[in-house]
Structure 1
Amino acid sequence: MQLEKINIVIVDDHPIVIEGLKMMLKNHSFFNILETFTSGSEILNFVKSNEVDIILLDITLPDANGIELCREIKKISSNTSVIMFSNRSERSIIMQSIQNGASGYLLKNTSIDELIECVKGALSGNIVFCNETKLIISKPSQNELTIPRLTKREKEILQLVAQGKTSAVIAEELFLSPLTVDTHRKNLLQKFNAKNSTELVTIASQNHMIEI
């Protein structure tokens, strides 16, 4: 029985990656590479007028963040399965991609057999990962294991610290004394086991506790 063609689009800012994927996939007759792009704006325009089954999408693009781009693609074409294809191996990035509608996450050292298996799985409605990604998401980072509980006031101050505001400015905005703000900041550093405000903001951002 003739297998129905799987229409694939590749989005990556490195032409050598695109060519490598095309060479690997051309040996499998059920793949039809519709188009390849090196920027985010191009793929958004393409999915508006073309039926795409699978998009292999890099995260780092010259004009867009692939994770945000994934969400925009799904708004335009909910039936298109987007599989992130990246060198980024941070657990927080993997999970954020899935939250934004990705059907899977593959690292660029994924074998062709894994890639094909994951594409088929995504088309069946599954969330797919290469073996290395499965290991990453099965082991939460130390920061994720120790997410502290914050009071409403601590959350407010944490968000303002993330915006780079000083204790004096925060105190003025929240109608508090600078001493009270400093006390809250010290408590936040202790709760997050952070050495300074930069590390505090980094940990909080990784755990999606603040908006940057």
Structure 2
Amino acid sequence: MIKILIADDQELIRESLKIILSTNNEFEVIDTVGSGKEVVESIRRHIPDIILMDVRMPDMDGVQCTKFVKEVYPEIKVIVLTTFDDDEYIFSALKYGASGYLLKGVSLDELTSAIKTVLQGGAIFNPNVASKVTKIFSEMAKNNIVAERIHDEDLPNLSDTEWKIIQQVSQGLSNKEIAEILKFTEGTIRNYLSVILDKLQLRDRTQLAIWYIHRGKEA
């Protein structure tokens, strides 16, 4: 059973989402909350697998709340579900560890697929947002923003397999998809990814993707 926490300052939205998601017997909506403070309190009580997070909420907005969640509970996945496709919101949400950014109005099938993709280690974006993500990553690479501290002379030794995994992570593939391509188990890919992140001193697969694009490395 996938445990879901819904965070939205509009009661109608969060209750509607709860009703819709509860029709899927794989999902359990463990709580619905209306503010960043309530998100923190709910996590401490329930420990969800995934949070559907609105951006604009009282006490602590969705971006800052995502930052807190990923710092304190890195195993919890966050999908930002909002009406705002502002570049700053998108960049900040990704920077702080969100695994997805969807606009309200997605279908139940799309939302269900997004939840499962993210829990399998992938990332998911609304089509309108995806083009902005590509643009943001491109601009970050041009402006030399990400991974400044890792220069070629400081680059740790990475195997051919590790480079292949890095390349596929940068393309948004999940651990399961990478495992199928490389003929490994999903657990083996998770172990490889953990070692890679440790070697490069990066927090998560989103930072890894940004670093790879920044470096312009062709594995």
Q: TM-score, normalised by structure 2?
A: 0.60
- Structure 2: stretches of 5+ with no match in the other structure: 144-219
Give, in angstroms, the shift of residue 135 of structure 1: 3.2
Per the alignment, residue 17 of structure 1 pairs with: 13
Aligned length: 145
Give, in angstroms, the shift of residue 76 of structure 1: 2.2
Larger radius of gyration: 1
Per-residue CA deviation, residues 86-143 of structure 1 (Å, 9 max, x unaligned), is 1111123212101111111111121111111110111011121122322333456xx9
Per the alignment, residue 49 of structure 1 pairs with: 45
Change (3 A) 1:70 1:145: closer
Per-residue CA deviation, residues 58-82 of structure 1 (Å, 9 max, x unaligned), is 1100211210110111122111001
Deviant stretches of 4+, over 3 Å: 143-147
Residues in 1 aligned to 2:66 and 2:27: alpha-carbon distance in whole angstroms: 21
Change (3 A) 1:38 1:144: same
Give, in angstroms, the shift of residue 144 of structure 1: 8.5
**3-state SS of the aligned residue for 2:29?**
strand
* Pick aligned residue for 1:122 from 118, 121, 130: 118
**3-state SS of the aligned residue for 1:9?**
strand
Per the alignment, residue 215 of structure 2 pairs with: none
Per the alignment, residue 32 of structure 2 pairs with: 36
| Matched residue type, 1:104 | G
- Structure 1: stretches of 5+ with no match in the other structure: 148-212
Change (3 A) 1:123 1:145: closer
RMSD of Structure 2 on Structure 1 (CA): 2.6
Per the alignment, residue 169 of structure 1 pairs with: none
Percentage of identical aligned residues? 30
Q: TM-score, normalised by structure 1?
A: 0.62
Residues in 2 aligned to 1:17 and 1:40: alpha-carbon distance in whole angstroms: 16
